[in-house]
Each structure stands twice: as structure tokens, then as C-alpha cells.
């Protein structure tokens, strides 16, 4: 389980793209544009320019409109699955094969012109997707087909695709008049533009804290040497490799407080106003569609179904986590009292939690995290992660030599099964200016069955781990290894898909289930059988001693009550703003955050901070952040099957691949979980995983 601060700041939430699909990958005419490459060709990213991005965007949208126009002309009597539903999937896929890479480039390309052009293209694509969501001709084509005898006789993924497509259209406003739909499109376009601007403002933050020798005391030599300035000070920026270790190890309480405040105030000058505008527009959108709140609209087609189910879920967690959170907090208080030499201390400030948690691990649990990270050198971690995934899921990862990439240290891998390439993924692991600053998986190309063969699904893993220096390799904290495995779980969900339609490919599942395949994969870094494959000292190559691992395991749930309560807080902030908040009322979003933090967590709110300004998931998740813990319950329940059969059991791994990963969104999520479990799901494994015996406590 990730520690409290990392559950928020290390984004383990995937970057979502509208993932659709295509039978014909080629674009009309020949093109030297890197983004318009041949079927299953490797995109030559090194050649990509801003002009290429602009051209590919224009061509893909233009050709999609032309193909849609042809689809509309088919008479109702002539409609069948192939010429209507499959063709729709083809059209969407062709667009998304450009949109996926462009979306990624807007987050990672080092060239300002290319990156900014990609951001402009993202806005153009968003408006196009909004446009076709409200296209009456397209709705009528799908609706007409859904009423045919053939459509009513469909089963399996085809029936699900038709049903979901009609439902999505009708949820998007086709019960409305043309005038109201036009109004809805304007609202959606505004939301898209503002959401992109909100994220851009976060990405462009370049604030930093200058500290002196005494304020950086406690940090390791490799951390200090890369941040030392010519005048003898140290520049601490707000990227995670800078922020996380400083909050954990700096002995200066005042410097940690200042950095914490700066971190929570990222984009605070612009984003609170943007957030209010977005909330107002979402409220208008929901009311226009006949829903009381945006949250009611948003969860209607997800596993939760109703807002009340989310509130019940969150409140139940608050109640059950209360005792464990208080125990965790008291442990930190005891350590703080010892360190400051006062028995009158009665509060842990949020900028102190990571610092005293480190002492707690070191002194009570005899765990030195700086010692632990010496066993997690980046290349070894990659090898171990790959070995684990290849062994469990029956595949092979083969590195592509000298790939054409957007940054020199980006790597490309083919995924092979039975000797044949089935998919690809890129890894972009280290921080740099203007790069997406969290950890996330970016889907790029969907899996899809086509007349030319199976379209290779492709994804990119983007992280911001400590870069190697001249005298020290990249060494990862165990929390960072957990993040690596988590995000690679999303990659596996994308690249092991076997769906017929790209609309169902990989992570195209219900938003409140999408984290489960990544969360389950975290468990392998808490098992000695899998860890000893790769956890080796970077100097001596000594395997992580089992004694040290046992200390890590004993400390696994230190702070788990606080960490999970913090996750509840983030879910409650998101859901409150979208279900119980009036954006035109007198209460500010900052007051909402303050009120909820002081009610739910044991850490007092720091006045003058605006964490919601940099809470990027308010844009992407939007009334869906509750899904992190919702899906974790399913993830831990599914992992209990591995625990029973053996965490490296190949048969269990292949069953999980074939039932959960391969099917993507082509089947109902709950049905897949029940088939894998062989029973109805429950919460026991989740509570056990955080050190809480619900049965024993009688909860």
C-alpha cells in the first residue's frame, strides 16, 4: 500500500483517451507524415514536427467526416452489423490512431512547438468527439440498426457494443430537441477547452524552493549533488523525485512546510477560477440531460450506478478505517514527542507525516528506506518486472534496438506470444522540463481485429523516477517500485487485449474498474518469491536479504489507515464538488476542501493552500475518483486467488490474462470478476491487505 502522500502525488491513475477502433488503418493517398504510417508500422517519432501533427490532425478528422457521411446514406433495410457498427468502430479507430500519439506528444515531447501544437490538436479532437456524440444522423443510423431483427438476435461483444452505443448516445442528449443538443455541444466544447487549460497550467508550473545546507540536511549525497547551485544553495523543484524525498528526509520542519505549501498551491493563481467554470458547465450539462447533478449523470453507466451507492461506499470506509487511522496517527505522535522532547505535542501536521513516518519505520520497525532502495536499481527493477509479467502471462518482451523516439532515453519493446509480435509499449522513465509530471500509462493504439490482421495495441509508460547521475545509478524507493508495477499493470491491460473491436480494447472498461488490473499488480512487490528475482544490491549484487524483506513486510501497513483515509478524502472532494456543491453559491472550493479534510482525516488543513488547483483528476475523473478504492476492493479480492494458488502460479496467471486482461470492455466487469473468483466478490481481502481484520473487529 502506498504511503499517505504518495497516494495523491504519485498519480496511479491512468491517462484516459477515447479509445475507439479501425479496420482500414491507411489514409487516402501516400504520406510521409510519421503519424500516418502503414498498418502496424512503428511511428518514427524522431522525425515528428509540429507541422506533421497539424497535418495528421486535419487529415484524420476530415477523412472521418467523409466516412461518416457515407455511413449515413445506407437505408434502414440495408443496415447490418458490418456496414453500420463495425464501420463506426473503423472510423473511430482511424481517428484514435492519430489522436492517441498526439495526446501523448502533448505531454512528453521536448520541443515546445511540437508539444504546443499537440495541445492545440487535442482541443480540436475533443471538439470533434463532442460533435459526433451529438450527431443526429449517426444516432439515427445506430438506433435504426438496433431495431432490426439482426441486431436483436446478437449476443456477446456485438450485442454489448450496440447496446452501449445506443445508451451512450441517449445519455448524451438524444432525448433532447435539436436546439438543446446544440446548446449541449457548446457546453461540452467549453468543458474540453477548460479541462485542457487546467492540466496545462499544472504542467507549466516551474516553481522551486532554494534551501541552504542546514535545510537539506538528511538527504543523500546523490540527491544533493544534482540540485546544488553555484552559490552553494540547493534548488528543490516540485517534481516528484525532488518533492517526495525532501518531505521524507529533510530535517528542516520550516523548509518542509514551505515546500508542502508550494506543492499544494501549484497553479493556484489560475485554476480555482477555471474549476468553478467547469463545475458550473457540468452542472448545466447534467440538468440539460435531466439529471439532478453531474455525479448522478456520471455514475449511471458505471458499476456504482447511483450516487448514493458511492456515498454509502465512502462513508462505510470512513467508519471502518477510523480505528486503524487513529492507531497510525498515535504511532506518529509518539515518535514526534520523542524527537521534539515534549509530551505536550498533540498534532501531526500534514508536512510532518512523511518525515515522522520515516523515523517510525527506522526506529520502531528497524527499516531504513535509504538502505532498501540500494536493492532497487532501475535496470534490475525493469528486469524483475518483465520476468514476473512474462512468466505469469505467457509472453515475451523484446527490446527494439535504436528505435525512433521523441527523447533519446525512451525505450521501445515488442510483446511476443508464441514467437509472434502481438503488441508494443514504450517506456519514458525520467523527469525533464515540460514533461507530464506524474506516473501514468498512455494508451496510443487500440487492439482490433482487421482484414489485414490484428492491430497491435500500443501504449506508453510515462514516469518521473530519479535519473541516474555520473556516480550513482537510478535507485528507487520501494514505494516507487510499487508505482512502477502499478502503472505497468495498466500497460499489460492495454497490450494483452484480444478484443475484436477497439471500442472494447484494453482499458476501455468502466471507470470505476479500470484501476483494478494495475492495483492487483502492486502485490508482487510485497512477495519475496517474486522480489528475489530482481531485488539485488546495486554494488554487490547481493539478493535482498529475507530478514530485511521481513522488516519491509512488517512495516507494510504502517500508516495504511491514514493512507486509505486520505484516498477517501480525495474521492469525497471530487464527489462533493460534483454532487453536493453549488458553484454559483457563496462557498468556495477551498472551503469545501478545508471542511472535508478536517472532517475526514486526522491531519489539519493548512490555511492558504488550494490543493484542488493541482488536483488534475478533477478534470479526467470528474465524479469518478471514488473508483480508486472501489476498484481496489476488486483487485485485492482477485489477488486472493493468486495467494491461494501461489503468486507465481502460471495457470492462475493465464486465467487472469484470458478472463480479465484479454477481454477489455467486451464483457460486463462484474461477470468477469465472478468468473475469475468462482464466487461473488467481497471486501475481506481488501481490509486484510491494509492490516484490518474486519471479522475480528465485528465491523
> Could you list the active site residues?
487
Tell me the C-alpha distance between 379 and 475, whole Å: 9
Nearest to 307 by CA among 509, 575, 668: 575
Residue 93 to residue 540: CA distance in whole angstroms: 49
- Report how far residue 365's alpha carbon sits from residue 547's, in angstroms, rounded to the nearest whole number: 12
Residue of 534, 632, 556 lying closest to 13 (CA atoms): 632
Q: Say how far apart CA 321 and CA 156 lie, in whole Å.
A: 40
Residue 492's alpha-carbon distances to 56, 349, 381, 423, 488, in angstroms, are 28, 38, 16, 10, 6
Convert 102-171 into a string of H (helix), E (strand) and C (coil). HHHHHHHCCCHHHHHHHHHHHHHHHHHHHHHHCCHHHHHHHHHHHCCHHHHCCCHHHHHHHHHHHHHHHH
Measure the CA–CA gap between 627 and 518, rounded to whole angstroms: 13
**Per-residue DSSP letter, 483:** H
Distance, CA of 552 to chain centre:
26
Q: Quick one: which of 552, 548, 529 has its CA closest to 537?
A: 548
Pairing of strands 208-211, 234-237: antiparallel
Rounded CA-CA distance 413/230 in Å is 40
434: region left, alpha or beta (phi > 0 left; psi from -120 to 50 alpha)? left
Contact 583, 276 (CB under 8 A): yes
Helix pair angle (307-340, 627-645), 10° resolution: 80
Place of cell 462513508: 315
DSSP 3-state assignment of 175? coil
The β-bridge relationship of strands 396-399 and 411-417 is antiparallel
| Cα dihedral 80, 81, 87, 92 sign | positive
CA 76 to centroid of chain Cα atoms? 41
Query: Burial of 162 by CB count in 10 Å (0-12 exposed, 13-18 middle, 19+ buried)?
Result: buried
Rounded-to-integer distance, Cα 555 and Cα 397, Å: 33
Judge whether 227 and 242 are in contact, CB under 8 Å.
Answer: yes
CA pair distance 186, 604, nearest whole angstrom: 40
For 403, the grid coordinates are 528505435
| DSSP 3-state of 671 | helix
CB of 108 within 8 A of CB of 462? yes
Give the CA diameter of the chain. 84
The number of residues in the chain equals 699
Amino acid at each position: 500500500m502506498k504511503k499517505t502522500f504518495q497516494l495523491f502525488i504519485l498519480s496511479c491513475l491512468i491517462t484516459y483517451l477515447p479509445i475507439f477502433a479501425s479496420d482500414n488503418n491507411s489514409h487516402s493517398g501516400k504520406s510521409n507524415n510519421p503519424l500516418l504510417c502503414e498498418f502496424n508500422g512503428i511511428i518514427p517519432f524522431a522525425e515528428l514536427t509540429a507541422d506533421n501533427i497539424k497535418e495528421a490532425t486535419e487529415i484524420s478528422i476530415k477523412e472521418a467526416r467523409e466516412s461518416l457521411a457515407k455511413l449515413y446514406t445506407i437505408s434502414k433495410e440495408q443496415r447490418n452489423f458490418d456496414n453500420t457498427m463495425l464501420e463506426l468502430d473503423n472510423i473511430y479507430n482511424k481517428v484514435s490512431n492519430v489522436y492517441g500519439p498526439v495526446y501523448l506528444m502533448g505531454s512528453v515531447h521536448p520541443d515546445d512547438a511540437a508539444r504546443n501544437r499537440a495541445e492545440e490538436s487535442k482541443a480540436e479532437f475533443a471538439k470533434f468527439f463532442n460533435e459526433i456524440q451529438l450527431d443526429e444522423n449517426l444516432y439515427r443510423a445506430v438506433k435504426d440498426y438496433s431495431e432490426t431483427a439482426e441486431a436483436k438476435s446478437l449476443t456477446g461483444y456485438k450485442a454489448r457494443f450496440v447496446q452501449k452505443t445506443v445508451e451512450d448516445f441517449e445519455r448524451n442528449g438524444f432525448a433532447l430537441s435539436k436546439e438543446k443538443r446544440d446548446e449541449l455541444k457548446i457546453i461540452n466544447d467549453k468543458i474540453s477547452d477548460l479541462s485542457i487549460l487546467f492540466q496545462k497550467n499544472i504542467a507549466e508550473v516551474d516553481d522551486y524552493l532554494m534551501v541552504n545546507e542546514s535545510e537539506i540536511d538528511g538527504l543523500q549525497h546523490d540527491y544533493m549533488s544534482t540540485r546544488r547551485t553555484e552559490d552553494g544553495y540547493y534548488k528543490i523543484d516540485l517534481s516528484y523525485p525532488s518533492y517526495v524525498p525532501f518531505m521524507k528526509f529533510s530535517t528542516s520542519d520550516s523548509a518542509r512546510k514551505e515546500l508542502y505549501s508550494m506543492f499544494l498551491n501549484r497553479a493556484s493563481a489560475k485554476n480555482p477560477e477555471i474549476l468553478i467554470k467547469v463545475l458550473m458547465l457540468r452542472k448545466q450539462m447534467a440538468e440539460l440531460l435531466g439529471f439532478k447533478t453531474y455525479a448522478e449523470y456520471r455514475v449511471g453507466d458505471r458499476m456504482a450506478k447511483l450516487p448514493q451507492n458511492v456515498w454509502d461506499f465512502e462513508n462505510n470506509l470512513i467508519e471502518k478505517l477510523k480505528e486503524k487511522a487513529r492507531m497510525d496517527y498515535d504511532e506518529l505522535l509518539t515518535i514526534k514527542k520523542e524527537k521534539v522532547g515534549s509530551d505536550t505535542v498533540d498534532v501531526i501536521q500534514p508536512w510532518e507525516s512523511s518525515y515522522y513516518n520515516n523515523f517510525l519505520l527506522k526506529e520502531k520497525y528497524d527499516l531504513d528506506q535509504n538502505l532498501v532502495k540500494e536493492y532497487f536499481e532501475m535496470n534490475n527493477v525493469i528486469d524483475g518486472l518483465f520476468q514476473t509479467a512474462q512468466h505469469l502471462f505467457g509472453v515475451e518482451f523484446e527490446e527494439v534496438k535504436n528505435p525512433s523516439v521523441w527523447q533519446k532515453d525512451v525505450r521501445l519493446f515488442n510483446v511476443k506470444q508464441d514467437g509472434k509480435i502481438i503488441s508494443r509499449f514504450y517506456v519514458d522513465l525520467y523527469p525533464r522540463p515540460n514533461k507530464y509530471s506524474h506516473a501514468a500509462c498512455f494508451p496510443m493504439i487500440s487492439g482490433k481485429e482487421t482484414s489485414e490482421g490484428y492491430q497491435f495495441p500500443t501504449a506508453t509508460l510515462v514516469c518521473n523516477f530519479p535519473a541516474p547521475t555520473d556516480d550513482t545509478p537510478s535507485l528507487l524507493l520501494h514505494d516507487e517500485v510499487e508505482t512502477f508495477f502499478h502503472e505497468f499493470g495498466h500497460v499489460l491491460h492495454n497490450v494483452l487485449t484480444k478484443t475484436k473491436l477497439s471500442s472494447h480494447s484494453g482499458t476501455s472498461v468502466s471507470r470505476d474498474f479500470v484501476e483494478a488490473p494495475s492495483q492487483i499488480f502492486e502485490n508482487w512487490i510485497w512477495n519475496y518469491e517474486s522480489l528475489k528475482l530482481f531485488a539485488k544490491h546495486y554494488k554487490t549484487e547481493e539478493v535482498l536479504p529475507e530478514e530485511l524483506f521481513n522488516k519491509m513486510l512488517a512495516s507494510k501497513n504502517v500508516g495504511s489507515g491514514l493512507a486509505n483515509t486520505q484516498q477517501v478524502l480525495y474521492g469525497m472532494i471530487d464527489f462533493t464538488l460534483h454532487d453536493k456543491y453549488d458553484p454559483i453559491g457563496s462557498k468556495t472550493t477551498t472551503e469545501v476542501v478545508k471542511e472535508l479534510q478536517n472532517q475526514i482525516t486526522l491531519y489539519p488543513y493548512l490555511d492558504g493552500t488550494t490543493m484542488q488547483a493541482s488536483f488534475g483528476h478533477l478534470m479526467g475523473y470528474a465524479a469518478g475518483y471514488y473508483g480508486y478504492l472501489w476498484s481496489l476492493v476488486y483487485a485485492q479480492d482477485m489477488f486472493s486467488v493468486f495467494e491461494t494458488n501461489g503468486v507465481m502460479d502460471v495457470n492462475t496467471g493465464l486465467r487472469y490474462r484470458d478472463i480479465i486482461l484479454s477481454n477489455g470492455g467486451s464483457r460486463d466487469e462484474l461477470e468477469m470478476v465472478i468468473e475469475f473468483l468462482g464466487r461473488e466478490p467481497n471486501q475481506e481481502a481488501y481490509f486484510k491487505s491494509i492490516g484490518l481484520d474486519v471479522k475480528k473487529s465485528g465491523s
